Structure 1
Amino acid sequence: MIKYALQCREGHRFESWFADADAYDALARAGHLSCAVCGGAEVEKSVMAPRLGKAATVPTKSAAGSTPSVPARPLSTASTPQEKALADLRAKVERESEYVGGEFARVARAIHDGDEPHRSVHGEARLKDAKALLEDGIPVMPLPFASPRKTN
């Protein structure tokens, strides 16, 4: 695996992992790269300094009994402004709305029709059910993250 610093035509900078340098080159030639911020298709590698300093590490036990070191920052910690914004949005949605799971389409329709008390809800819906809600003038939108109940 190799991580490249990338930049789009608009100047947005982001990082992405690739299987190897050839994988990056193949995706770039095929036009399959896009900016993680604006979606622009003109993306190229930008200057990236190697990590030279020692990072804080936490010793862990492997199955063989040795203790390799791993970075102290957990993977779940936001490392970019975009990740922080998504984490903040997720926290707000979870704090200020009720999770209704797979019943989302039914509950949203019932709230809209006045059959259930008005409140903010979030959950999952099949694409055809979400389209039906929109066609009937019921305001819904996809969230840019999966339910925590659906992740490992």
Structure 2
Amino acid sequence: MIKYALTCEHDHGFEGWFGSSADYDDQQARGLLECPLCASKAVRKQIMAPALAGTRRTVQDESTAPVREMMMEAMGRIRRHVEENFDDVGDTFAREARAIHEGKSEQRGIYGQATPKEVRELVEDGVPVAPLPPEPPKKTELN
């Protein structure tokens, strides 16, 4: 089986599975291919990189393991620093961050929870925010 990334004349992207390259060519020539979104028959293959199996990825994964471990440790240190030195304002984070930014509340480091909508609004209004790194997985939870 071959999977092709396809697109129609309206740039709707979708994929199609074919028994062979010749099957794709045959269906295309007979007008059997159709966009599932707009029913356009003007369908063409998109450029895509082939998926190749091999051992190179395993070698790369092994060589990047020390870097990944170092990054996980650094993120854990950042999280611990924030939790030990900043005020946890819980689900009032967005309101409190805005109040600090506007000078209506005392200037201090805070952390807490906010919805994606609240974060977007804070960023749009120029309030500096950043996500807190996730808790690192426990060594017993790793593969």
- Interval of TM-score (by shorter of Structure 1 and Structure 2): 0.3 to 0.5
Higher percent of residues as helix:
2
Query: TM-score scaled to structure 2, two decimals?
Result: 0.48
Give the TM-score taking structure 1 as reference length: 0.45
Larger radius of gyration: 2
